[in-house]
Amino acid sequence: MLTAVAVSGYRSLRDVVVPLHGLDVVTGPNGSGKSSLYRALRLLAGCGRGDVVGTLAREGGLQSALWAGPATLGGARRGHAVQGTTRKGPISLQLGFASDDFGYLVDLGLPQQASGADGASPSGFLRDPEIKREVVWAGPVMRPGSVLVRRRWGVVETRTTGAADDDWGSDWGESSDDDEWESDPVARSGGRSGNRSGGGRPSGTGGRGARGWTELTRSLRPWESMLTELADPERAPELLRVRRLVRGWRFYDGFRADADAPARQSHVGTRTPVLADDGRDLAAAIQTIREDGRGELDRAVADAFDGAILDVTVDAGRFDLALHQPGMLRPLGVAELSDGTLRYLLLVAALLTVDPPPLLVLNEPETSLHPDLVAPLARLVRRAAERTQVMVVSHSAPLVRELGADPDGGDDGDGDEDGDEDGDEDDERPVGLGSPARVVTLAKDLGETAVVGQGLLSTPPWAWGTRR
């Protein structure tokens, strides 16, 4: 189970660590950073799917996604005007998560400005960010002794069994040159050809990296993640486990319900354990749930629509829905359903999946739902949270209350929502699958998103490390 998500340098998320407990409800006013947190999670999932660079480029490139404020806000909080300062570190967007077993972080930076074949002509892909650094570690917090696999530019190393040395950077030495932050030191020294051959290793190393480390490759290209390129069950089983975890995350955001929506069209159906993110295979997913023998489907539909029954019709291999409602002579097809009814059925298919994901994230699931459907939706989410970790992003106070989370809750900085000095009561609340919902309230302070009430004692431990 994920225990924390950390984001640094992304939009309004200058540096935030969000604790996770099992069923978490992220709430806050408009513009507080909820959507930015949701997008950051999707970017993090993109590292395991190989599309993080493309996704970020489609958002306008790294420059448009970076934190737009100063490096620090200490002066502004003391009453001084907000103003920029001399940059003391690299331009960086960092994403990461911690779980019970492994943690992972990725550091994205600016592309090299001269990337042509001759090393002088400008590249046409300057909106593409580059992956500068990746780390996988054991346990909830990254420490020198817990790092299992590390990537610095094109070089990826895995810890040698029984090794305790963490001499990162010893091969290249320390440098105060700012260019080291943004460019590959191996490529600058002529030690890497930039292709996939893996050539350029210093003679005599025999695949050995720094002391205590074994080099997997030094030719990983800047738009490739080590999760997708080096997840080897023999050489790097940790990467394979992290990749499977991240690839399994599911996100559902703003299902379309217009007349041309994919969910309203008839499609050829096959067994569908996972609903597509646009809902195009809704009927097949519903049929898969029915054949799995899950009685929750009938209860969820009847709970929301006064005893209605949902069936699936099959004609020449094409699947369609049929909603039988009391008092009506014929069922309603999917093309006849109201927008709210269709969106609720899409959420039913997503939450009652026969293949629960490691993490399920719903972004404003209450959109277009009648207030009478909020309570059935909350009951559905709570049942799903007994089988999988769930995060709900919403500014709907009724939905937050129905989920059992206090919309006005939040820590006082001591780890206790009730304001007790010792914070023991909050620490004793259960976490994990089936645990009560926890609320995470976001707010803006001088343009920066922060977790309301989070203080030094209640912020989950986190370390980003450096590129050097």
pLDDT digits 0-9 by tens, 204-251: 344 555 678 999 999 999 999 999 998 778 888 999 999 999 999 999
Structure confidence at residue 307 (pLDDT): 87
Closest CA to 300 of 400, 403, 397, 381: 381
Closest CA to 90 of 114, 115, 66, 55: 66
| 3-class SS of residue 84 | coil
- CA distance to 52, 92, 148, 155, 227, per residue, from 49 (Å): 8, 21, 21, 20, 8
Could you give the CA distance from residue 326 to residue 305 in angstroms, rounded to a whole number? 9
HSE-up (13 A, CA, CB side) for residue 310: 31
Could you give the CA distance from residue 13 to residue 36 in angstroms, rounded to a whole number? 7
**Which residues lie across from 312 on neighbouring strands?**
321
Q: What is the torsional sign of CA 122, 123, 127, 132? A: negative
Could you give the CA distance from residue 445 to residue 73 in angstroms, rounded to a whole number? 10
Closest CA to 284 of 328, 337, 334, 244: 334
Structure confidence at residue 446 (pLDDT): 80
Per-residue buried b or exposed e for 176-195, using 16+ beta carbons within 10 Å of the residue's own CB: eeeebbbbbbbbeeebbeee
Could you give the CA distance from residue 399 to residue 371 in angstroms, rounded to a whole number? 9
- Residue type for 370, please? H
Cβ count near 327 (within 10 Å): 5
Structure confidence at residue 184 (pLDDT): 61
Would you state the structure tokens that stand for residue 466, as one six-digit string? Answer: 């450096």
Could you give the CA distance from residue 266 to residue 264 in angstroms, rounded to a whole number? 7
| 3-class SS of residue 133 | strand
Would you state the structure tokens that stand for residue 339, as one six-digit string? Answer: 């927008």
Q: Cβ contacts of residue 374 below 8 Å, gap of 6+? A: 366, 396, 398, 399, 402
Could you give the CA distance from residue 336 to residue 320 in angstroms, rounded to a whole number? 12
Residues in the chain, pLDDT under 50:
168-179, 193-206, 409-424
